[in-house]
Structure 1
Amino acid sequence: MGHFEGGSLQVNDNMTNQLERPVDDPGLEPHIPSWVSTNPHADKHAQGRVVVAFAVSSLCALASVVTYFAIPHGIQIEIGAFRSDLHNVVFGTTMGLAIFLIGVGAVTWGLNLMDDTDSVQQRHIPTSSDEARTEALVTVSEGIRASGVGRRKFMMASLGGALGLFALPLVVTLADMGPWPTARKRANTIERTIFAEATPQKPIRLVNDISWKPIKAADVEIGQLINAQPENLKNYEGVEYQQEKAKSSIIIVRMDPASINIPASRKDWQVSGILCYSKICTHVGCPITLWEQQTHHLLCPCHQSTFDLGNAGHVVFGPAARSLPQLKIGVDSQGYLIATQDFTVPVGPSFFERDSRNDYKEGDA
């Protein structure tokens, strides 16, 4: 045996011989068959538990679909401090049970019905030889055979049914994403703002979005930017208010008419150099207010898209693909800024289905 002397370990010859002798390979213990593999009755019983788990999972998935349509939103339940919508509780519970029972069936199958024979694979160099690849394929085939997939067709059918039916409520919940976005539906929802309520006979005044006071053209100075809203926004509440504000927010700027380019088709869209644009960036919909008075550029802080408001909102830099929508404005008999129509193009971020043919492009008249 070694001993310590002077603070260090001293090694004798006997200890050296023990270290040099390799450890014998203990090998694998003899395989002991499981109770299920040797008892046909136990095997059938385990299969039954798996099938029942998958079958009940399928029923839970179907129940969640029925719940989705049968239980209306708004019914509240209270259990102590817990309060929630009955529709959400039942739908979530049945969905949770469906996926939980799939797991129970899979674990029961793996623990009780799959072959538990141990196998040994020797270490080898990373590159596999043809023989090793062939052996791997044989191993996979043996694993499939040991799992009993081929001879337990009823269990496989129940598993397939459970997985397939579990996907059904997931597909059904896609209905919560809203109505199918057809061209007509888009034109009446996301591509329409409340400026559409304006007509030449019943115009809508533009108001300051802080004070809510109408904006008089004579009070707007050259170089000034005003954040504004349509006056009829006050007629909306709650979610509708937020949705309409997200689409109808505008900016009003005044520039020297001699220093900007006003296309001939938009000569009557402005009032003595006062122009109105959507406040929503055409890239991903961020609100924009970073105004450069000298260059007439409007910079989006999110991704640095830059629009030239002195050139009909044309994009001069950044990822935005469309010019900033401009709103036709005028003045009423009292000199207040008004709108008599909606934007001629959809406001907000770009998307594949959006019609961009009417967007302003550099050089348009």
Structure 2
Amino acid sequence: MSSQDIPEENLPSAQDHAHGSVALADTDNPFADPGLPPHEHRVQDIDERAAKRSERTVALMFTLSMLGTIGFIVAYVAIPVDKSIFVWPIGHTNALNFTLGLTLGVSLFLIGAGAVHWARTLMSDVEVVDERHPIAATPEVKAKVMADFRLGAQESALGRRKLIRNTMFGALALFPLSGVVLLGGLGPAPGTKLRHTLWSKGKLLVNMNTNEPLRPEDVTVGSLTFVKPEGLEEHDHEFLTEIAKAAVMIIRLQPGDIKDKQELAWSHDGIVAYSKVCTHVGCPISLYEQQTHHALCPCHQSTFDLADGARVIFGPAGHALPQLRIGVNSEGYLEALSDFDEPVGPSFWERG
């Protein structure tokens, strides 16, 4: 059947086309818009006792969320970092990490579950059809949006159901405290630890390879040797922390090749000692060019002139390598005469 055979009143209008839907008057048309099914009321809509039960359930979830957050904070403070527990089927695991993850997950889950249960059982579930409209809203549409918002706020019963409102606000207000407490995981403030190392007056320079103290005659001209302070052993609990600051390289130059007066004064018979920690991002310097007296950091190619105060001659490093003042003790061993006079490693904002 062609469109000429359809009565004019049953033909789709231009307005129908504009709305993207065409519904013919023919009731036998299988493509006709069926419309919305009849609304089915929930038990909470017709039974206030059921609504009260849902309200108490939502409030319970929000309250348990608050308890979960409090449990997170208590666990963070009370459980030792190195404590281990057995959890089936995981096996042995860190008690602190497991408890923090469990309490934080439960707290966040209950906030979401409470909000979902609230929406499904107490907020309005009446289906509303709204026609498409231009992006630029008219004053009438804006007024309708505000009216719908006010209606939604009213139907949410946020003002009337104070138990839900107060417990929800409590859960949402308390939950961020978990993040605040986690800031403590960054560790204690460094204090003056960045400004001092294990080096001090009288500490012998110990060869990192042989673990023996060094004499001047053990260091040949042009050689590079890595040393550590006397008393620092690899099996020490704080070895990695301390060697990261106290690692030193010693190089023997001809005294006439040393350009910097302080470097010459702080050396012994051409033997100079500098921090091994690059002043860019803290990589260990390990490459030395004998002919030019240049030390190279392998990470980002910062280059230091060890014959001229270890100043930076290339690369992103921000300042020269700190020099360790050395001498020889009464037994003929190389020793430190003090700690570094400036912090080793990369710059930091409090550095003077």
Tell me the alpha carbon deviations over residues 214-269 of structure 1, each in whole angstroms, 9 at most, x when there is no partner.
333233333322222122212x7443111111111111123333334213x44321
Which SS does the other structure have where 1:94 is aligned? helix
Maintained 8 Å contact 1:194/1:232? no
User: Among residues 340, 346, 349, which one is paired with 1:349 in the alignment?
Assistant: 346
Deviation at 1:87, TM superposition (A): 4.6
Instruction: Please state how far the C-alpha of 1:176 moved relative to its aligned partner.
Output: 3.6
Counterpart-to-counterpart distance in 2, 1:146 and 1:311 = 78
Residue of structure 1 equivalent to 2:209: 210
Summarize the alignment of residues 10-21 of structure 1 with structure 2, pairs less than 5 Å apart: none
Report Cα offsets for 1:278-324 as digits up to 9, x if no partner.
Answer: 11122222111122333333232333333222221222333322221
Question: 241-250 vs 148-157, which deviates more?
Answer: 148-157
**SS of equivalent residue, structure 1 residue 42:** helix
Q: For the Cα contact (< 8 Å) 2:263–2:323, is it kept in 1? A: no
**Distance (Å, rounded) in 2 between the aligned partners of 1:122 and 1:294:** 82
Q: Deviations over 1:17-50 (max 9, x none)?
A: 9xxx965444433433333233322222111101
Q: Residue 256 of structure 2 corresponds to which residue in structure 1? A: 258
Confirm or deny that 1:93 pairs with 2:102. yes
- Report the Cα distance in structure 2 between the residues aligned to 1:239 and 1:319, rounded to whole angstroms: 33
| Pairing partner for 2:120 from 111, 118, 121 | 111
Shift of 1:94: 3.0
Cross-structure match for 1:276 = 273
Is the Cα contact below 8 Å between 1:214 and 1:337 reproduced in 2?
A: yes
Residue of structure 1 aligned with 2:55, choices 47, 54, 59: 47
SS in structure 1 at match of 2:279: coil
Specify the code of the residue in structure 2 equivalent to 1:247. Answer: K
**1:223–1:144 distance in 2 versus 1, CA, 3 Å:** farther
- Summarize the alignment of residues 124-203 of structure 1 with structure 2, pairs less than 5 Å apart: 128-131=136-139, 134=142, 142-181=151-190, 186-187=191-192, 189-195=193-199, 198-199=200-201, 203=202
Match of 1:330, SS? strand
Cα distance in 1 for residues equivalent to 2:115 and 2:124: 14
**1:68 has 2:76 as partner:** yes
Matched, 1:29 2:50: no
Partner-residue secondary structure (3-state), 1:103: helix
Residue 110 of structure 1: CA displacement? 2.3
Q: Tell me, yes or no, if the aligned pair for 2:263 and 2:272 is still in contact at 8 Å.
A: no
Task: Give the secondary-structure state (helix, strand or coil) at the position aligned to 1:287.
Answer: coil
How many Å apart are 1:345 and its aligned residue? 0.6
C-alpha RMSD over aligned residues: 3.1
SS in 2 for 1:310: coil
Any idea what SS the aligned residue of 1:46 has? Answer: helix
What is the CA deviation profile of residues 333-363 of structure 1, one whole-angstrom value per residue up to 9, with x for unaligned ones? Answer: 45432212110011122221222xxxxxxxx
Letter in 1 for 2:109: F
1:314 to 311, 315, 325: 311
Aligned-partner Cα distance in 1 for 2:146–2:276: 62
Q: Structure 2 vs 1, CA of residues 296 and 138 (structure 1 numbering), >3 Å: closer, same or farther? A: farther
* Matched AA of 1:104: A
SS at match of 2:238: helix
Q: Distance in 2 between matches of 1:350 and 1:344?
A: 15
How far has the Cα of 1:55 moved from its partner?
Answer: 0.8
CA distance, structure 2, for counterparts of residue 228 and residue 133 of structure 1: 78
Give the alignment's TM-score, normalised by structure 2. 0.79
Q: Which range is displaced more, 247-256 or 169-178? A: 169-178
Further displaced range: 238-247 or 24-33 = 24-33
Alpha-carbon contact 2:87-2:93 (below 8 Å) kept: no
The alignment-based identity, stated in percent, is 41
5+ long unaligned stretches in structure 2? 6-11, 13-21, 23-30
Over 3 Å counting, the alpha-carbon distance change for 1:130 and 1:291 in structure 2 is farther
Deviates more, 1:31-40 or 1:108-117: 31-40
Judged with a 3 Å threshold, the aligned counterparts in structure 2 of structure 1 residues 108 and 275 are, in CA distance, closer, same or farther, namely same
**Amino acid across the alignment from 1:155:** I
Number of aligned positions between the proteins: 326
* Aligned counterparts of 1:167 and 1:347: Cα–Cα separation in 2: 37
Within the candidate set 243, 246, 257, 2:244 is matched to 246
Q: Is 24-33 or 107-116 further displaced after alignment?
A: 24-33
**Whole-Å separation in 2 of the counterparts to 1:130 and 1:271:** 86
Match of 1:359 in 2: none
Q: Do the aligned partners of residues 331 and 60 (structure 1) sit closer, same or farther apart at CA in structure 2, a change above 3 Å counting?
A: same
